Chain A
Amino acid sequence: MSEAKTADATAATEGEENIPDMSLLSITDGENERGIPVVKFIDDVGAFAESFTPPASAELLIGAYTELHSKFKTYEISLTQKQANLKSKIPEMETSLALVKSLQKKRDDKETIITRYSLADDVYGKAELDLDQGSVNLWLGANVMLEYTYEDAIEFLSKNEQLARKEFGEVKNDLAFVRDQIVTSEVSMTRIFNWDVRKKRVEKVQGGGDEAK
């Protein structure tokens, strides 16, 4: 355990001179369009460890990957929330749109609408809608409500729905991308660990009785 600590400390001082941020920059490979880092794929663990001066220990490498991994996890959580948010918003937009469309249709058919609308929780009022006015109020958020004609409202709502769907697609892609990075870093950590086990096994056989450890 103390061995790991000293390795860490030397790497940290070394890092200030030639490797600015061993923990992240040297194990990432650029970033995607939305600023999420790309985890570096290690072709050969041994060679990768040797590429550091001094050669990085397994503990140091795994530590760096763990940090990156938890970073990706944070991305994953915030993206998952964003996705869930959109997932509940899109059906709401769909119903609003369907509702305005049906209002428009009723007006064109010269029908009247009798509705029970919500006054408060579990209290409903009865109203007859005057469709001839052809206007509907849309709740825009931030305590703002605007009056639209049916046509404008439909255009506005469809545009919003499309935007939300587009964003949903983007979030989905980002999430898939982040999951790739998570899996890659998990596999990398396992590989580093296995490489270390094998290396120690070989050292034990070669070292024989030389070292009492």
Chain B
Amino acid sequence: MLTPEEENEAEVRREDQENINKFARLNAQLHEVRAEIDSLKKELERIDDASTEIMMADAGKVLLFMGGAFFETSEEEATTYCEDTVEKYQERIQSLETEESEILEKQDDLKQILYGRFGKSIQLEE
């Protein structure tokens, strides 16, 4: 609850509303991007573990699980498969992380504008 002194008389103009909407959109985007980074990182870990296992097992042939069935593949092929996938995921994580910092930057700009106009009458956090 705000004291009357803290109350802000500033009317919400159309451009303010647009900025608020933009901020909310960015917030939703931020959550999505973060969730995706998390799940990719977990996946990456799994593949990393798999690579280590392949190296240690030295079995010659391994079974690769793809689309619901196991396929007999040579150790070499399985390693390449893992490496390719790791690379693909890392690229995706990197681009998502760039996106994340861009979102945060844009949000900071909007925060300055909106807090400047509405002071304590507006709350722009998570």
Q: B12, B17, B25, B72: which contacts A179 (Cβ < 8 A)?
A: B25
Does the CB pair B28–A179 fall under 8 Å? Answer: yes
Q: Residue A51 at the B interface, CB < 8 A? A: no
Main secondary structure of the interface of B (DSSP, over half): mixed
Taken residue by residue from 14 to 29, chain B's Cβ proximity to chain A (1 for < 8 Å, 0 otherwise) reads as: 1001001100110010
Of all chain A residues, the one with the shortest Cβ separation from B70 is A116
Residues of A within 8 A of B24 (CB): 179-180, 183
- Given A176-B25, A183-B21, A117–B14 Cβ distance below 8 Å? no
Count of chain A to chain B residue pairs whose CB atoms are closer than 8 Å in the complex = 51
A96 to chain B, nearest CB (A): 6
Give the complex CA separation of A78 and B102 in angstroms.
Answer: 29
A117 to chain B, nearest CB (A): 4
Q: Residue B59 at the A interface, CB < 8 A? A: no
In the complex, how many residues of chain A place their beta carbon closer than 8 angstroms to a beta carbon of chain B? Answer: 23
Residues of B within 8 A of A124 (CB): 70
Does the CB pair B69–A187 fall under 8 Å? Answer: no
Of all chain A residues, the one with the shortest Cβ separation from B36 is A87
Q: Residue A163 at the B interface, CB < 8 A? A: no
Q: Residue A102 at the B interface, CB < 8 A? A: yes
Q: B28, B67, B72: which contacts A114 (Cβ < 8 A)?
A: B72
- Given A187-B12, A187-B17, A115–B69 Cβ distance below 8 Å? yes
Within 1-44 of B, Cβ neighbours of A (below 8 Å) are at 11-14, 17, 20-21, 24-25, 28
11 further A-B pairs in the complex, CB-CB below 8 A; given A95-B66, A183-B24 = A95-B67, A96-B67, A115-B70, A116-B63, A118-B68, A175-B28, A179-B21, A183-B20, A183-B21, A187-B12, A187-B20
Can you list 6 A-B pairs with a CB-CB distance of less than 8 A? A113-B72, A115-B70, A115-B72, A117-B70, A183-B21, A187-B12
**A contact residues vs B (CB 8 Å cutoff):** 41, 43-44, 95-96, 98-99, 102, 113-118, 124, 175-176, 179-180, 183-184, 187, 191
